[in-house]
Amino acid sequence: MGTLRVTVWGENLHEQREAIVQAHYPRGMHATIAEGIEEHLGQRAHVRTATFEQPQHGLSEEVLAETDVLTWWGHIAHAGVDDTVVERIRERVLLGMGLIVLHSGHGSKIFGRLMGTTCMLRWRDAGERELVWNVAPGHPITRGLPEVFAIPEQEMYGEFFDIPQPDELIFISSFTGGEVFRSGCAFRRGQGRIFYFSPGHETYPVYHHPAVRRVIANAVDWAAQPGLAPYSTFGKALKSPTGWYAP
């Protein structure tokens, strides 16, 4: 099995503007997310990072062509993400690149375009305890995880979450305030695998949480299809009257 080529995309703007975010993530959230993936996948993965302020947001055609799985954390700059780059990512996903969308990435252009709905939700930032319930035991994304784990402080994300019905529901979260949320949702679009995972507000150290790191690494592993040869033939069929395998 070949190396999994992972690109961790981080908007990296809160980190430069807010002391609390810098305190939790001195090298940026993307660096911490990348470390968590390396911690679990080790030599099997080659992980690099890209950020909003780089040319083409660090996601040139070359970078995406060498990416088996892209992870996405964005928030305040959703609208500023170049449509050309968004379309480039969408095309790569349809041809088999994995996409892991984290937390406020629910509002990103790329997630909205792949889902086709608003992807909006209910939220409250009050440092509440989140319980993440595993509702897909046996699924590769829940490997090594307990039935439930707690994140001591989180932003509440609650239903209704305006997404299409997930192909697989992996986690449901509940919060101190009583709300519930489909916090881990798997989708397929074209030949690509997509996973949305909601824990990860920037003012809490969520990406240092061992179980959260495990989920993200498992999801990268699940979404990766290294060596996949995209195969799609569209348009007028050229099949001969005697069949596909006719000489």
Span near Zn ion by CB under 5 A; candidates 5-13, 53-61, 153-161, 167-175 = 153-161
Could you say which residues in the range 93-112 bind Zn ion, by CB under 5 A? 104
CA dihedral 130, 123, 120, 220 (to 10 degrees): -30
CB of 243 to Zn ion, least distance (A): 55
CB of 34 to Zn ion, least distance (A): 20
| Residue 48 or 78 having the CB closest to Zn ion | 78
Binding residue for Zn ion, selected from 11, 38, 130, 155, defined by CB under 5 A? 155
**Between 195 and 234, how does the x/- string for binding to Zn ion read (CB under 5 A)?**
------x---------------------------------
Question: Under the criterion CB under 5 A, does residue 11 sit at the interface with Zn ion?
Answer: no
C-alpha pair distances (Å), 160 with each of 24, 35, 122:
30, 32, 7
What gap in Å lies between CA 231 and CA 237, rounded to an integer? 15
- The answer to whether 197 and 173 have CB atoms below 8 angstroms apart is no
C-alpha pair distances (Å), 166 with each of 37, 134, 195, 238:
24, 15, 9, 35
CB of 198 to Zn ion, least distance (A): 9
CB of 63 to Zn ion, least distance (A): 26
| Residue 201 or 214 having the CB closest to Zn ion | 201
**Between 35 and 74, how does the x/- string for binding to Zn ion read (CB under 5 A)?**
----------------------------------------
- Taking CB atoms, the residue at the shortest distance from Zn ion is 201
What gap in Å lies between CA 8 and CA 135, rounded to an integer? 26
Matching residue, tokens 């305890």: 129
- The answer to whether 124 and 159 have CB atoms below 8 angstroms apart is no
Span near Zn ion by CB under 5 A; candidates 12-20, 55-63, 151-159, 172-180 = 151-159
Question: Under the criterion CB under 5 A, does residue 128 sit at the interface with Zn ion?
Answer: no
- Number of residues binding to Zn ion, judged by CB under 5 A: 3
What gap in Å lies between CA 206 and CA 208, rounded to an integer? 5
Q: Which long-range contacts (CB under 8 A, 24 or more apart) does 141-144 make?
A: 141/170, 141/184, 141/186, 141/195, 141/215, 141/218, 141/219, 141/222, 142/170, 142/171, 142/215, 142/218, 143/218, 144/214, 144/218
Binding site for Zn ion (CB under 5 A): 104, 155, 201
